[in-house]
Structures are given as C-alpha cells and as structure tokens.
Amino acid sequence: MMGQRLVSSLLSRCLYASHRILNPLTRQERKLGLARRISQRFSTLTAIEDPVTPPVEVKYTKLLINGQFVDAASGKTFPTLDPRTGEVIAHVAEGDSVDIDCAVKVARKAFDEGPWPKMTAYERSRILFKFADLIDEHNDELAALESWDNGKPFEQSAKEEVPLLSRTIRYYAGWADKIHGLIVPGDGAHHVQVLREPIGVAGQIIPWNFPLVMFAWKVGPALACGNTVVLKPAEQTPLTALYAAALLHEAGLPDGVLNVVSGFGPTAGSALAGHMEVDKIAFTGSTGAGKIIQELAAKSNLKSVTLELGGKSPFIVMDDANVDQAVELAHSALFHNQGQCCCAGSRTFVHERVYDEFVEKAKARALKRVVGDPFKQGVEQGPQIDEEQFSKILEYITSGIDSGATLVAGGGRAGNKGFYIQPTVFSDVKDEMTIAQEEIFGPVQTILKFKNLNEVIQRANASPYGLAAGVFTNNLNNANTLMRALRVGTVWINCYNLLDAAIPFGGYKMSGIGREKGMDSLNSYLQVKAVITPLENHAWL
Amino acid sequence: MAENGNGSVKEGFEMPEIKYTKLFINGEFVDAASGKEFETRDPRTGDVIANIAEADKVDVDLAVKAAREAFDHGPWPRMSGYERGRILHKYADLIEQHIEELAALDGIDAGKLFAFGKAVDIPGAIRMLRYYASAADKIHGETLKLNGAYQGYTLKEPIGVVGVIIPWNFPSMMFFLKVSPALAAGCTVVVKPAEQTPLSALFYAKLAKEAGIPDGALNVVNGFGPTAGAALTSHMDVDNISFTGSPEIGSVIMQSAATSNLKTVSLELGGKSPMIIFDDANLDMAVGLASAAVFFNKGEICVAGSRVYVQEGIYDEFVKKVIEVAKGWVVGDPFDPKVNMGPQVDKVQYERVLKYIEYGKRDGATLLTGGKPCGEKGYYIEPTIFADVKEDMKIAQDEIFGPVMSLIKFKTIEEAIERANCTKYGLAAGILTNDINIANRVSRSVRAGTVWINCYFVFDADAPFGGFKMSGFGRDQGMNAIEKYLQVKSVITPIYNSPWL
C-alpha cells in the first residue's frame, strides 16, 4: 500500500522531485503566512491585474485513439486549471488503464499491420513536414493554449516554443530517409548487414513545463523512425498535445499511429509503463517517478527506457567574466519559464573575486524582472503551474531562510491570487543546504562562492544529478577543463538553454538515461538487427 | 513502332512558353557579354525552339566573381543549416507548382517522355532537393581521440565556389543531383548546363531566386564545353568541379583542374554496364528488366544495361521473348502518353548510334531486331538487339548511348564475372537470380559503383551513385555527395587537467 501511494504521489507530480510527504493543509497554512510575512519585506514587482482573456478556444478535450476523439471508457473527466487564477479552463477526458489498453491495441495494430512503418521513409517525412507547416499556420492558437494551460509568457510560447516544435519536427522529418545501418566486416567470409528497424509501439509520458517542446522531442523521432505512439501528456497541461495531434492527423498521419491519452500517472501512466505490448517507454519528469517507470518496465516486459529527469545544474562564473553579462545569463538560466526547467542553472557558483559585485547585480536584475499575466506584453514571468508547486517553492524559500542563507530579493508570493511567486535570490548559500541540493523548480536563485577551479569542479559534481552546466569565462583552458570535468549531459559555455533540435540532451547520474534530440534520439526508437550470411568465393573481405 | 506519326506534335497539348533564355548571373538574367546566342532545337523535328544567350570566358568570370562574393561575404554560408534547408524546401515547393511546365521543357528540349517527366523525372528532382534540404542541418564534424592531452575536433566547412557541368540526358535530375548537396553544404554554385538542353536550368534559376536563394549563390551560364566549360574548369577561383558526361571530357576537365588551381574534381562518366541473368531467374522479369535497362530514355543513360549476359540454360527462351518485347516498344512523339521511346537528343547522337549499329553488323554480331531509323523526320531509332556479341567488338566496348542491346551467352558464374568486368567502365551492374550465394558473390565481384539485384534503375536520393574505373570517381546522391562539397578542418588545442583522455 505504501508503495502504491508513493507511485501515485510521484507519478502524479511528474517533474516534482519531492522527498517529503507533507500534510497539504498544514503546508497551505504555513505558506500563506510566510508569503504575507515576506511580501512586506520585498514589494511585489507588478500588480497582478485581472487576467487577460486568452485569444483561443478549447477545441479538443477528449482522448485521441485511433484517429478519433473519444470519451474515457469510464466517462470520467478532470479539470485543467488556469494557473493565473486556479479556475477551470476545461474538463478533459480522464484515461485510465482501460483506455491505455485500447490505445496500445490500436497502436500495436497500426504498427504490425501498417501502413505507417511500411510506407517509404520519404512518404513519412512528407507527412511530418506537412505537420510542421500546419504548426506554423496555427502558431498563435497553439501558443495561446500553451500559455493558458501552463502560465508561461505568451511571447515565449509564440516566438520560441511553438517555432521550436515545428523546427524539431522538421529536423526529424529530415532524418526519416537518412537512417543508416552499417555493413560491418566479418572476421571470416561473411556478409554482415546491420538493419535499424523501428522498435514498435512507443509509450511516451511528457511533463507540464514545456508541453509542446516535449511533444516534439518525443513524437518527432518516434514517428520518423516508423514507430507508433501512445502519448500521455501531463494532467496539468493536456490541451496542446491534443491540438497538435489533431494537426498531425490533418497532415495525413494514419489512424492509430499517434494516440493521446490524458490522465494521471498512477492510473494511465503506470498502465502505459507496465504494458506488455509497449516496446519502449520514454519519460520526462522527476527522478522519483523515473525510478518507478524503470521498475514498471523491469517488472513487465523489459521494454527499453529513456528517462530525462531532474537536475541541479551548476552555472559557474569565473573571475575573468564580464559580470554584467554573467549576471544576465545566470538570471535567465534560472528564471526562464518561472524556474520550471529541468536544466535550470539552479546553483550559481561565483568566483570570490567577483562575488559581491555579482550578488548586487543579480539582486537588481531579479527586482527588475516583470512578473504578471503571461498574456500581457513585456511580462517575463507568469504564475507557477499549480498550487502544489507554488506551495512547495515557498517551502523551499522558508528552508533557505531557516538554514541561514541570505535572502537578497523576492521571497514570497506575488499578487494575491493565482500562483505567482516573486523572483527570489539567495546569497551565502552553502552546499549542504537543502536549497542547494534539491530541485526547487521555481524562481529561486541560489548563489554560492568559490575560490578556484578544482574546488568548483568538485563541488559542481557533488550532486546526484548531472543534467547540464553553464560555464562563464573567456579563458580557453578553463573552458576546456570544465567542459571535460563536469559530469553532465550538456555544457553551455558563455550561453545557456540552447536547445537546438540537433543537439543531444540528457543526463548523467540520476538525471536520466539516454539522450533526446539530435541523431542520438533516433537510437532510442530503433532496434538494431545484425544479419549474417556466408560468402562463397568472395572477391574481397 | 508508333502508328501515330513519329515527330508529330500532339494536338491539344500546349507547348510551354519559353520565358528564360539569358544567362543567370548574380540573381539577374543578362545577355552574354559578347551578345552571342546559340540555337536550341526540338529533337522531334530538328526545329529551333529558342535562341539562348551563349556564355564564354568573360561571362563565366562574371558568374564566378558573383559566386565568390556570395561565398566570401554573402549570407548563404553564414546561415544556419536549418535556414538554408528551409529555403531549399521552399524551392522544392515552387518546383512542385510547375511540374508540368518543367516536364514539357525537358520534353521539347531533350525529347524526353512528357508523361515520364511529370511522373518521375521532375518529382525525382524535387525529392533530391528535399533530401538535401533536410540534410543541411545534419552535417556533422567529429570530436577526436588524440594521443595526448589535446582537445581535437573536425569542422566540415563548405568548400567554396562549386562549378557544375551537366549533360543533356536528364537535365532536371542532373541539375539537382549536383546543385542540391552543394547548396545544402553552404557552397555557391556556377552551373553550365548542356548546350542541347539549356531551358529547364534557367527556369530553375528563376525559381531559386523566388525561393530566397541569395543573389550570386546560384548562377547558370549556358554555353559550350570548349569555351564556357573550359573557363569554369580552369578558373583559379573555383574550388571544386563536379561533372557528369563522357570519359573523354572527364579527362580534359581533370587536366584543366590540375593545370590551374588543383581544384577538387568529381566525375560521373560513361558506362557499359552488364546485366547478368542466371538460369534460375524469373524469365519474364528478366526480359522486362533487360529491355528497360537499355531502351529506357532511348538508351541515353549512363547506367544503361547495354551488355546483357544470359546463362545458357535460358538463353534461347530469353532471346525469343526479348525480341517480342523490343518489337512492342512504341517509338514516337514523347508527348504521346502511349509512347515508350522518343527521339535521340540531336543529329550528332542519332548519327553516332546508327554508326554503331553498322559496326555491330560489320564485326559479325547477329542483328535480331531493329537496326534502322524510323519516322520521316526527327531523330528516331528502332529498339535494336544484337546477339552473338563478343567482348572485343566495338559495340561491346564503347558506350553507344542509344537503344542498342548486346546479347551475350555465358556458362558459369566465373565466366560471367570475368566477362562482366572485361570493360574499362564500372558504373553499374544488374544481377538477376534468386540464389543468395550467387547474388552475394557477384555483388562483391563486379567492379561497379551500383549493383541492382532483381531490379534496375532504382535510383534513390539516399543511395550513393558513381563509378569505378573510367566511369569516374566521387559519388552523387546520399550523404556521400555532400562530402564532395565540404572541406575537413582539424582543430586541436591543449587541454589541462582533463579527467579523461
């Protein structure tokens, strides 16, 4: 029973890596009290006004199975909420294991009988390219829906994320007809071919922080390789995946190739991860939930698993850095998307020689950050995704204060409704503090001081995570040393959050298994088959 | 033979208007500096279609200068691969909107089947362009494993200005076979189309501009080999030359590269490709493939399966059937959808093919069918089959580039391999057998750049294509083709305190 509750708690929270189980009521009370206390110390940046009406209507709320929008077998629905207000946007069909079974069955049929994997790769690519064009045509609708459901600034959705969706789809569309196996030399007179075949039915579980971008990272390579998919979006953000999937069908995707089952982790998610007919499961979310997914795969059919999990990524500012630029980059590395990024630069290590100046400027920058309705122009930061995350972040802020870190900016709720949090900065943070160890997933920057290169390498690596790192220096040798020494999947040198379609992304250590994007992601969706046959009277070997 | 008048223009078909006849340099259509023009003719009638601006060295210099400027200072190589790819996809979309017009241009200019152009040639060119459009963001250098504390990696850089010289047999496909990977790599290009078929290339130049390819990145200079072609291949500011055509000209081009700036060269030249049919092959399939392999496109194709080796067990039966098939091939106006084979491209080729037919008779080969011109005007020739051909006969050694099949009987696998390789060429080969061991053995034994087993002419954007021996070197198509247009730069720097090497 305890195990089951843990499964439930972790899966339902997706990206949230909680190590504590708290009484929600108590937490709520504590949070509100704390918020009031802190708000008095640091003024709110922008008044949170009446919410702007999003310029989009919700068209799709059902499950998408076999090319049809259908109700859940149980008839159940769940509300998806507007993070600006906590009010209901729409009631969405809630898939559970029955619906997952149904979706897997049609995906299986679509894979085993075709036409999708039996088409030429060029034909598949043409459909995916058409999909990308449709995404561009519906850019603003998708962006509005994304921001409404998620709370992220509309401009960010419209100018960065939806274009990144179509860009990533085009990238993989282009790979479809370039998937090559090797002809390898045998030791004797044998002809050896290596076929790279689609793996089959892929189960994909995506988080709420970048719903459309995550859709692209998962669905793009899976479909380009000729697989069929059952996708479970996060229950916090089910809307855009349904919309995008509808466009994909409009582009000519055959029925059953992509099925979207909204629902919760413990029911729909675990049914998918534990399904005997699913050949591959790809998950992005919390480390805790990732462990459960891998366990479910192990206990069922040993399906292959890709996990892209949490992080506590260091952002290292060396003493030769231009402090103004470093502050700006470190600021966006952490605060982008309300701090809700798995690769957020959440440990800002600053060399002691520039530390004081850095802290002052980081504080000034945080105080300038424009928080408000994501549909208002110029807003940099919207609300956190939901009340649970909101409360958890405020908990962490309290923990920071209690453990002796210096609160230099923010520290509380912004406004008095919805889930807005002030951009918060802590200085004098020590490695052993909870805020320096755990993934906060919110707008809380923690600044740590270091003396030399070896020290910062050791401290940066002293984390169970290994997703990404930022390095800020113009010294070539330091950059090269750090690049190799950091045990992380991505190192950004004098930049951050560059997530091009062609760049592989994923984690060392407990940040996950496998890579997404780039060529590497194709490997996750392909089986490798070696074919060997003897050669008679060969002309050469 | 087509009953409905060889060479007659089909009623109801609207001939395309000839819109572009000038040189395309730095994004503009311009006259030749000399003001000279040459005629391009309709091979169905020999009539003049249009007068085309004739480039010589002065114009090539201008085009190279524009391409150089576009490469050295222009946006094209400085864009991301994705941006280049988006423009090339747009380019493909625009071509798609003009398929019929382009197929018609190649039809009147090269005598190619209109229906085939619409269904295969132009879509194939589009497919080629799309393939490389989406390869533009998939050009990868590598990080290296050096023997010491060094960080090393390779950069794949665009090579610079590429000179392209293409033949008249597949004007559209050849254009994109070379231009697409060069542009995708970030190079700028000067194209000299064949003087027989200048029309579609100019249309493509216009569409390139419309798609957003920057001025100077793609230039088209029509003209003749000894003037325009030679100026391009010997130019000191051209970094690479990519040529498809005859081995004789290939040799001239290579020398010209050697005596100028040692530009890199790739050559896709002639062939005398064997089609080897074993006793166990499906006979009907074999007859169909063998006749298509040599009669398709009037035999004007470098990979024509022009030497057909048939194992003795099925030889007689094969001969009977292949004669029937050849007689059934309809020769006539390429705009007639019932027609299988149009006219040879021009008078020179027409006369050359007839001369080879005479060589065949003179050297003692047995003429089984065809062997004569047909129609009252234009350059039509009957599908022709010779039997009892020996490897030392001229028709078995030289590339005829016409609808002439040489049939040869063989006994054993060893013999087939040896005789198939008894040629200076090595472009392609066909193998017809259901025996896996024969298929594997012959595939490795035949010295040719492409082997088709139980199929023929399966070209694909993803399948590298090029020759062994005097069929040339370098590969078109596939990711291999992009490599021709890239320089490899190794970058090495010391690394300190690395936790791993």
Among B127, B138, B151, whose Cβ lies nearest the Cβ of A178? B138
Distance separating alpha carbons of residues A271 and A213, to the nearest angstrom: 24
Q: How far is CA B310 from the centre of its chain?
A: 27
Interchain contact, A122 vs B127, CB within 8 Å: yes
More confident residue, B17 or A361: A361
Query: Percent of chain A, pLDDT > 70?
Result: 91
CB spacing of B138 vs A174 below 8 angstroms = yes
Distance CA B242, CA B229 (A): 11
Phi, psi (degrees; rounded to nearest 5) at B163: -100, 130
CB contact under 8 A, B497 and A481: yes
* Residue A175 touches partner B, C-beta closer than 8 Å: yes
Higher pLDDT, A18 or A88: A88
From A135-144, B237-246, B370-379, B399-408, the region with the lowest mean pLDDT? B370-379
All residues of chain A having their beta carbon less than 8 Å from the beta carbon of residue B138 are 174-175, 178, 502, 519
Query: Which pLDDT tens digit goes with each residue over B277-300?
Result: 999 999 999 999 999 999 999 999
CA–CA min distance B47, chain A (Å): 40
CB contact under 8 A, B497 and A534: no
Residue pair B156/B29 in contact by the 8 Å Cβ criterion: no
Which of B86, B436, B499 has its CB closest to that of A485? B499
A3 — pLDDT class (breaks 50, 70, 90): very low
With an 8 Å Cβ cutoff, are A485 and B497 in contact? yes
Whether the Cβ atoms of residue B164 and residue B189 lie closer than 8 Å to each other: yes
Digit-coded pLDDT (tens) for B293-352: 999 999 999 999 999 999 999 999 999 999 999 999 999 998 898 999 999 988 999 999
Closest C-alpha to B388, from B402, B406, B405, B372: B406
- Per-residue pLDDT band for A31 (boundaries 50, 70, 90) equals very low
Contacting residues of A for B151, CB less than 8 Å apart: 480, 483-484
Average pLDDT (A152-159) is 97
For residue B169, give the nearest of B307, B18, B304, B275 by alpha carbon: B304
CB-based contact B498 A177, cutoff 8 Å? no
Chain A 469-488, residues with CB within 8 Å of chain B CB atoms: 476-477, 480-481, 483-485
The pLDDT of A161-171, averaged and rounded, is 98
Confidence of residue A49 (pLDDT cuts 50, 70, 90): low
- For residues B421 and B307, the answer to whether their CB atoms sit within 8 Å is no
- Is residue A352 within 8 A of residue A167, CB to CB? The reply is no
Q: B88 CA to chain A: closest CA distance, Å?
A: 12
CA distance A162 to chain B (A): 16
Neighbouring-strand partners of residue B410: B311
Could you please report the per-residue DSSP string of A435-484?
A: HHHS---SSEEEEEEE-SHHHHHHHHH-SSEESEEEEE-S-HHHHHHHHH
Query: Which residue numbers of B are catalytic?
Result: 268
Pairing of strands A424-427, A406-409: antiparallel
Q: Find tokens 């290939």 and name the residue.
A: B250
Over 80: is that where the pLDDT of A79 sits? yes
Among A230, A228, A222, CA closest to A116: A228
- Model confidence pLDDT, tens digit, residues B388-429: 999 999 999 999 999 999 999 999 999 999 999 999 999 999
Residues of B with Cβ-Cβ distance to A167 under 8 angstroms: 82
B425's torsion region: left (phi>0), alpha (psi -120 to 50) or beta?
Answer: beta
Are B123 and B353 within 8 A, CB to CB?
no
Residue of B nearest to A120 (CA): B460
**ipTM confidence score:** 0.87
Whether residue A34 has pLDDT greater than 90: no
pLDDT interval class at B13 (50, 70, 90): low
- In the three-class reduction of DSSP (H, G, I as helix; E, B as strand; rest coil), residue A184 is classed as strand
Record: contact A477-B494, CB cut-off 8 A: yes
- To the nearest whole Å, the CA of A86 is away from the closest chain B CA by 40
- At residue A13, the pLDDT reads 36
The C-alpha atoms of residue B438 and residue A38 are separated, in whole angstroms, by 82
The whole-number pLDDT of residue A48 equals 61
The model's pLDDT over B437-476, given as tens digits with 9 standing for 90+, comes to: 999 999 999 999 999 999 999 999 999 999 999 999 999 9
Q: B491 CA to chain A: closest CA distance, Å?
A: 13
Give the pTM.
0.90
- The alpha carbon torsion through A109, A110, A114, A118 (nearest 10 deg) reads -120
* Total residue length of chain B: 501
Angle, alpha carbons A336-A13-A273 (nearest 5°): 115
Is the N-terminal amide bond of A115 cis, ω within 30° of 0? yes
Distance CA A124, CA A223 (A): 8
* Residue-wise pLDDT tens digits, A347-373: 999 999 999 999 999 999 999 999 999
Instruction: Give the single-character DSSP code of B324.
Output: H
What's the confidence (pLDDT) of residue B15? 78
Asked if the C-beta of B90 comes within 8 angstroms of chain A's C-beta atoms, the answer is no
Cβ contacts from A onto B, under 8 A:
87
A8, A265 contact by CB (below 8 A)? yes
Q: Tell me whether residues B131 and A177 touch, CB distance under 8 A.
A: yes
Q: What angle do CA A449, A451, A454 make, to 5 degrees?
A: 115
List the single best residue of B128, B137, B442, B500 to mutate versus A (max A Cβ within 10 A).
B137
| Cβ-Cβ contacts under 8 Å, B493 against chain A | 476, 480
Coil, strand or helix at B372 = coil
Interface test with B, best of A131, A169, A481, A521 (most B CBs within 10 A): A481
Judge whether B497 is closer than 8 Å to chain A, CB to CB.
yes
Can you tell me the mean pLDDT for B245-268? 96
Q: Which of B440, B477, B479, B496 to mutate to test the interface with A (most CBs of A within 10 A)?
A: B440
Do B498 and A484 count as a contact with CB atoms less than 8 A apart?
yes
Q: How many CA atoms lie within 13 A of A293 on its CB side?
A: 35
